[in-house]
Amino acid sequence: MFTVSLFSCTGCVNLHYNDYAHTKVLLFLYVLSLYLYFNVIFPGYGTPRSEAINLLANTSYTKVEDYIIAHSKYKLSNFNYCEACNFLKPERSHHCKTCNTCVLKMDHHCPWFAVCIGIKNHKRFILFLIFSLMFTITIWIDSFRHVYMGIKTTSQEGNTKVQFKICYLLFIASVFILTLLVFTGYSIHLVLKNTTTIESMNIQDKLEKKELLMEEGRHIDLGHIYDLGYYENWKQVMGHKWYQWVMFGENDNIKILSSTFNGFLFPVNDEILERQQDLLNRGLLV
């Protein structure tokens, strides 16, 4: 991906060798995207075992289970444990067979990064998609303008002024834009709904199997227990303050909301929680 991006950046720099300001913008977006790419990989995604050490070191609890029971908004009759990891498997966590570990609030395993996207690198992943899309759009605009002017000049003078490499660059940029638009749009949509790729797939499976609850001939909307509204959902992933949304460090919310948002517990929608609890008590939800 970045080999193609480097070629693209080089091509656009050639287009603007007299426009130093424009060249600086292109190089800045490229370097920033490259930095975020590696920033997604190396800080890690957050595993129950590693984060449990940090949690217990900063609290008076000796077991994570005791901490969860003390701070959870709903009653827990039992805990899930991963047989492969031989460790606690908190809510929203999943075991990745490729990474061979459980991941806190696992979104998905990304083959382009060769790591999982989890609670600790989700924000960086979103920023990478956004800035990479901006970089690709800039390249597309530059290459399209060059091709358009080349065609216009050719029609006036009769000599071909369009370079093949720029046409190829325009094609590659178009493919990247369409791909990144889909990935970025879908990823932001999931953030705004406070759900993950895995959770959205589970919901879709239920819809396909028609496992919808019905009461008096009407579908019952269970809702999503972690959905706190677009703004709160966005802040939970991207940062508590607006200026933190473009900062590349770890999401400060993990520290600010340490008692309710640390990979072991998450803020929940009280209204939806009560609705689901009522359905559970009436035997309509299993």
- The catalytic site residues sit at 110
- Give the C-alpha distances (Å, rounded to integers) separating 56 from 51, 102, 254, 263: 9, 18, 15, 13
Measuring CA to CA, which residue among 232, 216, 134 is closest to residue 224?
A: 232
* Strand (E) or helix (H) holding 200: helix 197-208
DSSP structure class, residue 110: E
3-state SS class at 33: helix
User: What is the helix (H) or strand (E) element at residue 51, kind and residue range?
Assistant: helix 48-57
- How far apart (Å, rounded) are the C-alpha atoms in residues 218 and 224? 18
Rounded Cα distance, 37 and 5, in Å: 13
Beta-bridge partner residues of 81 = 88
The amino acid that residue 222 corresponds to is L
